[in-house]
Amino acid sequence: MREILKKFENKQPEIVFEWSDSESEAEGWLVINSLRNGAAGGGTRMKKGIDKQDVIELAKTMEIKYTVSGPPIGGARSGINFDPKDPRKAEVLKRWYAVVMPILKSYCGTMGDLNVDERTEILPITEDYGLWHPQEGVVNGHYKAAEPEKIRKIGQLRQGMGKIIEDPKYAPDGTKRHTVSDMITGYGLAESIKHYYRLWGGKLKGKRAIIQGWGNVGASAACFLALEGVKIVGIHSLEGGLINTEGFSLEEVKTLFLNKENNRLVAENLIPYAEVSQRIWDVKADIFIPAAASRLITKEQVNRLLAGGVELITCGANIPFAEDDIFLGPIGIMADNKISLIPDFISNSGMARLNAYLMGEKAALTDQAIFEDISKTVAKALKRTHETNPQKTKIAQNALEIALNQVI
């Protein structure tokens, strides 16, 4: 597996588009690792300090993710080195999408990612430039859809991505104020944990979980897990954190989800960031979910989590461990060898799978059909891994080997 992995990691991407903004210090890259089966896809993120190598690595992770989520296309990623809090953000995004528009029309799809929202930012800008949908390049390049089929697929994408959730089972407060795209990644993350305990054994109800990151992914996953009886005992975010060794109630978790502001944790009794960053790794828990930025989790933190009883790490963040390797480096392998580790290309496949589902043949656009499809997709990937490795360790290594054999 290591030889195949190194071959994949070291292979140069097929296309690297590089951009320097003429009106600001912003710079950006659109990396297409491969045009497997005619197209590629991946999100657009904005972060101060992101560089070309970061984007290349993210594009490679996306290619592996498509082996789980479908369609079987190449991985891509867009990264813009710019402060997302800068008031010029909207104008920078407009100029970025103006220059990458021909690529998005022809053979590359995009979606929201860190600090870039698909519904409120990508869609309005790209529509003004004549793009039918951010996945239009996949519809054209991979599906090679004729006009009637293209209209149907894009119609399903537009309707499904922005669909308001009507079934209270999939909304944290039971009201019609959340879209499918708000909740789908966190739901897929929670379902990966449910399927893990179903396949590898154990009772989910009563398990204790620590969540890192309180954006849509971490916060919605916490809600779905709390509905299953999981006790959320710790939340760690840039704004600070919360610790409750008895576990927050379902209503408290829902309130924290609803009160977040621009993916920021909001609570009256917030523990300062420096303090919670010292304490949270020693809180006794069974499950740890890194759902913040990439490359944050250190070896020391993993060891402290394990000492506190953590038996499962489920990745909501891409490349969560603080190591140079794109996939499994020393820290990831150490964790995978000692406990159960579900890799991000399975547990964080919700949004990619949603796009694939909506581009399928006459997708049913009901809450139940959409969310059940995500659950079945994650279950299938984990079942395939369990069949090759029923042990509770080396899950991520086996899953990666299965995916790499599909790509190479």
Tell me the pLDDT of the chain (408 aa) as tens digits: 778 888 898 999 999 999 999 999 999 999 999 999 999 999 999 999 999 999 999 999 999 999 999 999 999 999 999 999 999 999 999 999 999 999 999 999 999 998 999 989 999 999 999 999 999 999 999 999 999 999 999 999 999 998 999 998 998 877 678 999 989 999 999 999 999 999 999 999 999 999 999 998 999 999 999 999 999 999 999 999 999 999 999 999 999 999 999 889 999 999 999 999 999 999 999 999 999 988 999 999 999 999 999 999 999 998 899 998 888 899 999 999 999 999 999 999 999 999 999 999 879 999 999 999 999 999 999 999 999 999 999 999 999 999 999 998
Q: Return the pLDDT at 173.
A: 76
CB atoms inside a 10 Å sphere around CB 86: 15
Q: Report d(CA 213, CA 193) in Å as an integer.
A: 17
Ordered domains of the chain (ranges, CATH): 11-144 (3.40.50.10860), 180-405 (3.40.50.720)
Helix 2-10 with 395-407: angle, nearest 10 deg = 60
Q: Return the pLDDT at 35.
A: 98
pLDDT tens by residue, 146-187: 999 999 999 999 999 989 999 989 988 776 789 999 899 999
Q: Is residue 97 within 8 Å of residue 125, measured between CB atoms?
A: yes
Of residues 32, 12, 105, 106, the one with CA closest to residue 73 = 32
Token duo for residue 99: 């220059």
Q: Cis peptide leading into 102, omega within 30 of 0?
A: no
Q: Return the pLDDT at 243.
A: 98
CB atoms inside a 10 Å sphere around CB 114: 20
Average pLDDT, the chain: 95
Global pTM reads: 0.93
Token duo for residue 85: 């809090």
Token duo for residue 267: 């609570």
